[in-house]
Structure 1
Amino acid sequence: MPHATDDRNYRLPTSVRPARYQLTLSLDPGRRVFAGEGQVGLELAAPTGELVLHAAALDLTRAELRTADGPRAVRVVPAPASETVRLVLERPAPAGAATLELAWNGHVSDGLRGLYQAAGVAVTQFEAADARRVFPCFDEPGFKAPWALTVEAPAGLALLSNGAPERTTEAAGRQRVAFRETPPLPTYLVALACGALEARPAGAARGVPVRTWAVPEKLALTAFAQEVALEVLPRLEDYFGLPYAFGKLDQVGVPEFEAGAMENAGLVTYREAALLLDPATAALPVKKRVAEVITHELAHQWFGNWVTMQWWDDLWLNESFATWMAAKIVDGWRPEWRVWLDFDAGKAAALHLDALRSTHPVRAEVKNPEDMTESFDVITYEKGGAVLRMIEGYLGEGPFRDGIRLYMRRHAKANAVAGQLWAALAEASGQPVPELADAWIGGPGYPVVEVRREGRRVALGQRRFYSEPGVAEAGERWPVPLVLRYEDAGGVKEARHLLRGAAGELTLPGEGEVRWLVANGGSTGFYRVAYDAASAAALARHLPRLAPSERIGLIADQWALVRAGAREPADFLDLLAAFGGEEDYAVLDELVGRLAGLEARLADEPVRQRFQRFVANLVGPAFARAGWDPAPGEPDALRMRRAALLRALALVAREPAAVAEGARRLDRFLGGDAAALEPNLHDAAVAMAARAGDERRFEALRARFKVEPDPALKRRYLTGLALFEDPALAARAEALAFGDEIPLQDAASYMGALLANRTAREGFWGALRQRWDAVQQRVGGAPMLLRRVVEAVGQLPERRHLEEATAFFAAHPVPAARQAIAQTLERMRQDVALWERLGPAVARWLAAR
């Protein structure tokens, strides 16, 4: 009969729990090996004849259990299916305290998980389930315990862990560092970094030392990240009403990193592009992105590290909260950045994914490590964050914060589940939070709210929204907290209404004519809105009276309804044309994104050229007034507006004069003239120069990519190589995708750019299928990247591509990306059908203008 550990979904029994880890790890990065030894203190709730710990790719060379009645020999039985080892005792151990003595050997990982090498830096990445590749341990979040680590490594290298160094000794070219014991931590938050790293001088946030680390040649790019941490850490302490718990804070830019960052307690690791920048040359979106990522990771020091989820099905408790909290804290620090609009852009991606039949709930069932990896998506992060924002808006900022503080105090240093968060929020607010929250977190999808207005009377309805035309809804209903914003003779007003059932009705307070009505005021709700024809027309007439977030939401909702077959394409195009005088850069970003999506999918060349002329006429005069060069002291808002207009003119309309000027300015910039390109124009200039570029420019970008220290610029040059539309250069760009020149962390995004390139996509799609085994082997140690490669296939536009992709993934299943494959193919089916009906509709609309 098979043992329970032969099941890949095996969970450790709770009758044996770790009480304390005291371990020593000896690193030899040059030989890519390590050795470990030490003791794990245990609490046995009942007598037992065996212990089970996680261990993957480790060789246990010694194991002995000591209890009150003496030591016991242990027989080690690996269980590869569940990545565990059974420690079979020579005689049963009694209930009570015990100490497990262990020694083991292991290897540095070839991927970006466990302990891996990144350009001279050995670093760990343990979330979700890879601490077991370095330590035999209880590798589930419900098992929290203090960690007392000692690490041996070559002398002369920086050596960092969660705690501050307490004792350091050196002998025979080796260093031995004993780190301060941590508060109770789950295994996924334990971390080490060892290598050629240097730090800025430490700053202090209310007595907490803060240092930001990078490889020596990038140390100059750490100042902004240090400033962000020092600014936001006190703000987070104030919000939670609790001091930072982990003694010190080290932030490390890692040369290769699978995700964006990792919130290890006291030692936060980052992809370099999420931490390092030069404030003098960084575009505003780069600064905002770095600030939001840092704040997200620091919010985790409370929500996730101080109070930890019990199991991975509540991963959203960590990620949703940190996503929402990052926007809230950064907005308080830099309100002029309007980061809630960036938050809304993330919410838009979640709305798109959650309209598929293959979506999943925010709180998704997780059975094993592969399920955990697939949980790191926009549903977990952005939908969950948007739902929290919606709940805060319903409860009010004060009661919501009070509930979070209560939750933090009640579950300090321990684990919790979603229901305990809802209970704390309900207790603090006096509102039925579980009813509201469970409906949004526990099930998939969201509603479209239908609005019909006659005078001051508003009739409301809801049904589940699917992006595929003709899909029948199954009768799901949500408690929808509506914020209705409208204008009458008394000015702009707000009304709130909780729509509980399939339909509802209210009368707007006030008197006189209602000029317009927005049913998702401030765009804080996670739902679509479908207005009756008269209400939609009124909004189009009064666009300047709407908040920027509401104008963005109007465009997004109308496009979603076109995709679903619920609105005519001509009506949507009429709406876009009404934005010709738009001046807000965030709204322009949304507008340009929709225009770019239309242009990219128009297969008929004469129709595409007419559409490009329409776009040029829409935005060209505004860009001509803005010009290429900013005035002295020009605010960020105007610089960002110029950048949005240029993207529309040069990248969507492909206006020849703008493309040529952008390429000339990029050449000057690459030649050393930093003033040739305002930083916010750099991204568009690289793209336009690459699309029309020759071999000289291809080699110039390739050479600059190899030596550029600034990670944001480096990434732009790399992406630029995938955008060349000369067939010979596109083929050279394709070849790079399968070599070592492209860093592993950037492989998926580079492949995605090739698949989006009209010239490169056919050749690369064929090569990707032919060399799939090699691609899987390269990115297999970074499953999140493999998922991104699968998702990139969804950019292929034609029905034959859909048929090829469907057949290919049926013949080449990817267990670590099952969900991604299902979602990608569903999106492709919808996109192909959409553009088969939308192309002729766009042609008719253009012909009628």
Structure 2
Amino acid sequence: MPTLIDKSGVGSSTVLFSRQMLVSSLKPMGARYVFPCMDDPAMKATFDVTIEHPKGQTALSNMPSKTKTALTDGWVREEFYRTPKMSTHLLGFALFDGLTSLEAVISRGRVVRVWAPFDPEENSSVEVALNTTIDAIHNIERLVPVEYQLTKTDVIPVPGLSVPSSDYCGLLMIRETALLCDGQESSMSDQLQCELAISKAVAHNWFGNSVTVEWWDDLWLTEALSTMLAYESVAYQRPDVNICDLQWDDMIQPAMAADIFSRVDLSSYGHAVAVREDPAVEGKGIGLLRMLDTIISDKEFLKAIENVLARFSHDNMNRSQFWDAVAEATGFRIDVAAFMEPWVTQLGYPYVSIGRYEERDKARNQYFVQLPFYYSGYVSFMRHLQTVTWEIPVTWKSEGHTDTRLLTMIEEKSDTIPDETSPDEWVLGNSDSRGFYRVNYDNKNWAMLADYLQYNHTLLEPSVRAVLIDDAFNNVRGSILLIPTAMEMTRYLDKEENYVPWEAALDALHYVKTVVHGSCPSSSQCPYHCRLQEYIARKAARVLKRHSFYETSPEKRLLVAVTFKAACQNGNRNVTKRAKIMFDRWKRKRLRIPPDIRESVIHVGISAGDQNVWWQVWKQSNASSISAQDRQIFLCGLAASQQEWVLWRYLHFIFEEDKGITVQEASLIFKCVTQTKVGRETAWKFVQGNWEKLTSKYADVPSLLEAIIQSTLTGLSTDQHMEQLEHFSSSVQERYLRELLDEAVHATRLNQRYIDRNMPYLQDWLKVPCATRVDTKP
């Protein structure tokens, strides 16, 4: 029976302090520092928890409080009911003051409470979070055959939590910015992320708490399954949101981008913390399960989930047993393990080249060639992938056959099938956007697809349009295509009415702008960077012209947010003028800024303002009444200053205790500062000049040092940058940081090759006659 006592106010390495709050973090090996135990996931036990704490504080654990005994020194001994049998890393406790709760009792007397650092009666965000938690419980109970077993559920906001949510079986710890969202004042993006974070924490009751993996290497599986349940819960609650599009944008695309640089395969992550924090892990897990869904039916997959929950409820499971359950649900017509294991145990993922040719006897065939996908020049990755193959389910459609179907399973390096299409119609691989692979075509097919988007883009699903754009630009980075082909895929964007293709295009174009701008000595010598900005701004402004800042549809709100941001970042005069007016009215009269464009308006205001404006926003970011989301917006907006000395001073705030910058906020500040060229240059100088102070202050937070390096070194592309990197790398002692710097050196060489190979073609493409900048009011 562990007794958790900390009268000194100083916790062990297993706890996280923020404000007046102490919370546990026992995953993966923290439990052994609290009490003697075996902390492998498969080693389960029941726990009797006793916490001694000051009288005025609130203590929570997995189970309801059983008894409270007053001690003589003003402390309280609080005992909790015995937990169900569970892994040590699921044991949770929290100790805090200053939070109050809003409570509801649902079916069978189950109690749900949401805690907040303000009066729940005065802020609707607590009621929203409570309702979202209850909805998630009911929605997932409809999806799976096992009921939510916990008699009580406490949901607490944890400032600065490194992941959106952590579930400890009845005690849900959720990052404050991901829990307390106001339905009226929060952006649609924030609302959806809040709903997903809460729903995922609830979904862990089934996969994570009830069904637990035997060892950390398979933790990605329960993480992926619980996340999929969370998305289905949100889909049930929001039928006007396309969940497939949202999932691709949130999880799959970031995972494919990150997996290029991953140093280990999916099965080799031996620690839960790594799994939770690396998008290449959780997103790839979801991507692989989505792809499995292309070769089995939805009904069969749901049957497999039901079998797993029935068979392993309150027990351990490994991924082999999960593959067996899926195979059993299909009547063993598919060897699921043989299909899935190469994807799980091998680094990276493939791309498939699709082409057509005619035999001498006039017979026509389609050929499919699979190769490992990597960015040209990424040497360490290339060496490993020379002989790797996957079993790839290629879904397919053509201009004359627009119904998606599973065309072929590529098991070897190449395959050939009879061609039923006309040479003058396009073909499309990964046509349901569920494959965790990229696709390439010959130039003629790319051109036909670009034309089809220009005139008939709505006949393809939004996620499919996004995949086309994402594949084209990544194929350029892999030296498979030249950049004009990718740029042609964006010509239709002024007609695009869905945010997902816009997100994909802007993410891809951001890399192009960054390396182009970074290769120039000064912004005045970058005419093609300016021309590229004009091109993007013109497309975005034309979309904005058709919409209001006060759309009601979730997808339209997301579209307005992303296109308004694109127009502002790329300098559309009329849109930025509107933003400046809204910023000025907010600054002088505190007039409301529409939630979906608030972040962009703050950025424009800071970028155009002087240091007095900067200090006003800084003061506002520290106001006691500000929400966690708005503080994050202000902190990021302050990084938009175009004055190097202001940014240098801002970065230096992380060393000043009186500024109150948390570890997670320091990471956010670096990430936001490096979104502009002046910011990247300033951050890079700052890191070089203050490395000893950074490593001294954050020695116990390696994830922050990694985040600083990764965000600061993105987009470097000159010989001077290379020399600075190599010199800096030689002075860093920590091995894991040296590895990151070595990757940065590889990435810089890759950027240089990208510029050398594509700049002449990009310059030529941008010279194509086009209309003068369109300055229309959105």
TM-score (norm 1): 0.82
Q: In the aligned structure 2, how far is the partner of 1:232 from the partner of 1:514?
A: 49
1:286 and 2:206 aligned: no
Q: In the aligned structure 1, how far is the partner of 2:273 from the partner of 2:733?
A: 18
> What is the one-letter code of the residue matched to 2:349?
Y
Q: In the aligned structure 2, how far is the partner of 1:838 from the partner of 1:599?
A: 12
Aligned to 1:614: 535
Larger radius of gyration: 1
Q: Secondary structure at the match of 2:495?
A: coil
Q: Secondary structure at the match of 1:394?
A: coil
> What is the one-letter code of the residue matched to 2:366?
V
Aligned to 2:371: 463
- For structure 2, the residue ranges without an aligned partner over 5 or more in a row are 359-363, 770-778
Q: In the aligned structure 1, how far is the partner of 2:319 from the partner of 2:738?
A: 26
Aligned to 1:683: 599
> What is the one-letter code of the residue matched to 1:555?
I
Aligned to 1:175: 76
Alignment CA distance shift 1:783-1:207 (3 Å): farther
Aligned to 2:323: 422
Aligned to 1:340: 244
Q: Is the 8 A contact 2:538 2:572 kept in 1?
A: no
Aligned to 2:557: 639
Aligned to 2:572: 655
Q: In the aligned structure 1, how far is the partner of 2:449 from the partner of 2:21?
A: 55
Which residues of 2 match residues 53-452 of structure 1 at below 5 A?
Answer: 107-109=10-12, 114-172=14-72, 173-196=74-97, 197-204=99-106, 207-216=109-118, 220=123, 221-345=125-249, 346-356=251-261, 358-364=262-268, 366=270, 373=274, 376-429=277-330, 430=332, 431-452=334-355
Q: Which moved more, 1:456-465 or 1:302-311?
A: 456-465
Query: If each structure's strand is expressed as a fraction of its own residues, which one has the higher value?
Result: 1
Q: Secondary structure at the match of 1:842?
A: helix
Aligned to 1:504: 415
* Residue 479 (structure 1) shift: 0.9
Q: Is the 8 A contact 1:487 1:493 kept in 2?
A: no
In the TM superposition, what whole-angstrom CA distance separates every residue of 1:298-318 from its partner, at most 9, and x where no partner exists? 222221211222222222123
Q: What's the Cα RMSD here?
A: 2.6
Q: In the aligned structure 1, how far is the partner of 2:433 from the partner of 2:410?
A: 16
> What is the one-letter code of the residue matched to 2:35?
F
Q: Is the 8 A contact 1:518 1:550 kept in 2?
A: no
In the TM superposition, what whole-angstrom CA distance separates every residue of 1:143-197 from its partner, at most 9, and x where no partner exists? 2111110111111222100111122233443222211111122221111111122
Aligned to 2:774: none
Q: In the aligned structure 2, how far is the partner of 1:819 from the partner of 1:328?
A: 38
In the TM superposition, what whole-angstrom CA distance separates every residue of 1:575-630 from its partner, at most 9, and x where no partner exists? 22233322222222222333333333323422222222223333333333435x43
Alignment CA distance shift 1:379-1:634 (3 Å): closer
> What is the one-letter code of the residue matched to 1:500?
E
1:520 and 2:441 aligned: no
In the TM superposition, what whole-angstrom CA distance separates every residue of 1:621-642 from its partner, at most 9, and x where no partner exists? 3333435x43xx6433333332
* Residue 108 (structure 1) shift: 1.1
Aligned to 2:486: 572
1:753 and 2:753 aligned: no
Q: In the aligned structure 1, how far is the partner of 2:489 from the partner of 2:130?
A: 44
Aligned to 1:57: none
1:484 and 2:396 aligned: yes
Which residues of 2 match residues 548-567 of structure 1 at below 5 A?
Answer: 548-567=462-481
Q: Is the 8 A contact 1:359 1:823 kept in 2?
A: no
Q: In the aligned structure 2, how far is the partner of 1:760 from the partner of 1:296?
A: 35
Aligned to 1:722: 639
* Residue 558 (structure 1) shift: 0.4
Q: Which moved more, 1:801-810 or 1:299-308?
A: 801-810
Q: Is the 8 A contact 2:153 2:170 kept in 1?
A: yes
Q: In the aligned structure 2, how far is the partner of 1:803 from the partner of 1:138?
A: 48
Q: In the aligned structure 2, how far is the partner of 1:659 from the partner of 1:248?
A: 49
In the TM superposition, what whole-angstrom CA distance separates every residue of 1:789-831 from its partner, at most 9, and x where no partner exists? 2321332423333443344344324355576555444333322
> What is the one-letter code of the residue matched to 2:104?
A
Aligned to 1:776: 695
* Residue 525 (structure 1) shift: 0.5
Q: Which moved more, 1:322-331 or 1:389-398?
A: 322-331
Q: In the aligned structure 2, how far is the partner of 1:802 from the partner of 1:417?
A: 45
In the TM superposition, what whole-angstrom CA distance separates every residue of 1:452-499 from its partner, at most 9, and x where no partner exists? 1469853212111111259575132111112213342x7645344222
Q: Is the 8 A contact 1:162 1:265 kept in 2?
A: yes
Q: Is the 8 A contact 1:142 1:415 kept in 2?
A: yes
Q: In the aligned structure 1, how far is the partner of 2:228 from the partner of 2:387?
A: 30
Q: Which moved more, 1:304-313 or 1:826-835?
A: 826-835
- For structure 1, the residue ranges without an aligned partner over 5 or more in a row are 1-21, 33-106
Q: Secondary structure at the match of 1:523?
A: coil
Q: Is the 8 A contact 1:650 1:658 kept in 2?
A: yes
Q: Is the 8 A contact 2:155 2:172 kept in 1?
A: yes
Alignment CA distance shift 1:169-1:670 (3 Å): farther
In the TM superposition, what whole-angstrom CA distance separates every residue of 1:695-739 from its partner, at most 9, and x where no partner exists? 122012101111253211110100111221123322322222332
Which residues of 2 match residues 568-607 of structure 1 at below 5 A?
Answer: 568-601=482-515, 602=517, 603=520, 604-607=525-528
Q: In the aligned structure 1, how far is the partner of 2:107 from the partner of 2:750?
A: 50
> What is the one-letter code of the residue matched to 1:176?
R
Q: Is the 8 A contact 1:228 1:291 kept in 2?
A: yes
* Residue 840 (structure 1) shift: 3.7
> What is the one-letter code of the residue matched to 1:181?
R
Q: Is the 8 A contact 2:370 2:413 kept in 1?
A: yes
Q: In the aligned structure 2, how far is the partner of 1:797 from the partner of 1:491?
A: 43
TM-score (norm 2): 0.89
* Residue 432 (structure 1) shift: 0.6
* Residue 643 (structure 1) shift: 2.4
Q: In the aligned structure 2, how far is the partner of 1:266 from the partner of 1:788?
A: 31
Matched length: 738
Q: In the aligned structure 1, how far is the partner of 2:273 from the partner of 2:127?
A: 34
Alignment CA distance shift 1:621-1:389 (3 Å): closer
> What is the one-letter code of the residue matched to 1:608?
H
1:698 is aligned, of 598, 609, 614, to: 614
Aligned to 2:725: 805
Q: In the aligned structure 2, how far is the partner of 1:206 from the partner of 1:234?
A: 13
Q: Secondary structure at the match of 1:722?
A: helix
* Residue 672 (structure 1) shift: 5.0
> What is the one-letter code of the residue matched to 1:739?
E
Q: Is the 8 A contact 1:373 1:783 kept in 2?
A: no
Q: Secondary structure at the match of 2:49?
A: strand
Q: Is the 8 A contact 2:265 2:344 kept in 1?
A: yes
Q: In the aligned structure 1, how far is the partner of 2:19 from the partner of 2:721?
A: 38
